[in-house]
Amino acid sequence: MRQDGKYVYCIMGENDGRNFGPKGIGGREDVVTTIGYKDISAVISNTPMTRYVISRENLTHHEKVIEAVMKEYTILPVRFCTIAESTEEIRTLLRNRYAEFKGLLRDMDNKIEMGVKAYWKGMPAVFQEIDRDDASVKDLKHKLGGRGGDDTGIKEALGKAVEKALAVKKADESWPLVNRLRRISVDVKTKEPRAGAMVCNVACLIDRTREREFDYVVEELSEANEGRYAFAYVGPAPPFHFVNIEIKA
């Protein structure tokens, strides 16, 4: 029988020889523990040498372990399904990348990630604004009306023009929201908003001591834009969008 490997969840900024309990990924309730080098550690659990399917269940399990460690330590998340063959391989990794990990741990010390999304509340009103303000859309609608609304080529062009205008509108309206969040953040990562009503999708790295202040800023944005946007707000979370350690075999 092949020996188990070591599933790596994150790097943490202490070498305490911790046992985080039977929380390991894979359904076997393997103990999550640490392997240390100097004053840093890898958080690991035993696991079969297999590739885990990228599923909601597996990703959530991976993230929950990291979140549990983050409650007590500064951490660097490691990419999902990173499996080492042995304890010695992990110690070699920690030794070879010690300076890199220490630098990142300093950067992430006392930092948390907050996620903010904004959605338009009334899409019909947004499309009416595009119909009114976008010259290309107005021109194509006029042409389509002249053809009795029955021209496939114009319809396709109109659909693309509306899609482009919607993307421009999202960029224009998201800028002041992101800019306000940026002023209180150490760093921000903007992600492409999904199709439809999502206007912006931003991950903010903040100092843990400013979490309440950040809450107030989101509340302020929500109240100031009550008729325009609905906000979705998650956190605190590990800095998944700012650090994602990749370990290559």
Q: Say how far apart CA 155 and CA 55 lie, in whole Å.
A: 38
Residue 135 lies in a domain: no
Question: What is the rounded distance in angstroms from the CA atom of residue 16 to the CA atom of residue 146?
Answer: 76
Please indicate, yes or no, if residue 42 is contained in any of the structural domains.
Answer: yes
User: 119 and 82 share a domain?
Assistant: no
Are residues 119 and 210 located together in one domain of the fold? yes
d(CA 171, CA 24): 41
Q: By three-state DSSP, how is residue 193 classified?
A: coil
30 and 99 belong to one structural domain? yes
Note whether 88 and 119 are same-domain residues.
no
Distances (CA, A) of 196 to 121, 127, 143, 228: 11, 11, 26, 15
What band does 2 get if pLDDT is binned at 50, 70 and 90?
low
Give kind and range of the element (H or E) at residue 152: helix 152-182
Secondary structure (3-state) at 186: coil
How many percent of the chain have pLDDT more than 70?
92
In this structure, are 104 and 179 located in the same domain?
no
Q: Is 242 part of any domain?
A: no
- Per residue in 41-75, pLDDT (tens digit) is 999 999 988 888 999 999 999 999 999 999 999 99
Q: How far apart are CA 32 and CA 221, in angstroms?
A: 40
Task: Give the pLDDT score at 199.
Answer: 94
Alpha carbon distances (Å) from 67 to 104, 168, 214, 238: 18, 36, 20, 6
Q: Name the helix (H) or strand (E) containing 200.
A: strand 198-207
Does residue 105 sit in the same domain as residue 183?
Answer: no
User: Which 3 state secondary structure label does DSSP give 73?
Assistant: coil
Question: Residue 219: helix, strand or coil by DSSP?
Answer: helix
Q: How many distinct helices (H) and strands (E) make up the chain?
A: 7, 10
What is the pLDDT confidence band of residue 144, given thresholds at 50, 70 and 90?
Answer: low
Q: Same structural domain for residues 29 and 65?
A: yes
Among 75, 109, 143, which residue terminates a domain? Answer: 109
Q: Write down the pLDDT at residue 148.
A: 57
Last residue of a domain, one of 109, 131, 152: 109
Q: Which two tokens stand for residue 69?
A: 């460690």
What are the tens digits of pLDDT across the range 191-234? 988 878 999 999 999 999 999 999 999 999 999 999 899 999 99
User: Could you tell me if 229 and 119 lie in one domain?
Assistant: yes
> Do 99 and 118 belong to one domain?
no
Two tokens, residue 91: 């110690």
Counted domains in the chain:
2
Residue 79 lies in a domain: yes
Check whether residue 218 and residue 119 sit in a common domain: yes
Looking at residue 208, which CATH number applies to its domain? 3.30.70
* Domain assignment present for 29: yes
Domain residues for the domain of 186 are 113-123+164-237
Neighbouring CB atoms inside 10 A of 47's CB total: 20
Place 34 in a pLDDT band, splitting at 50, 70 and 90: very high
Token digits of residue 210: 């400013």
Q: Are residues 119 and 61 in the same domain?
A: no
CB 5 within 8 A of CB 49: yes
Residue 152 counted as domain residue: no
* Whether 36 and 60 share a structural domain: yes
Residue 143: inside a domain, yes or no?
Answer: no
* Terminal-to-terminal C-alpha distance of the chain: 22
Residues 249, 95: Cα–Cα separation, whole Å? 15
Decide if 243 is inside a domain: no
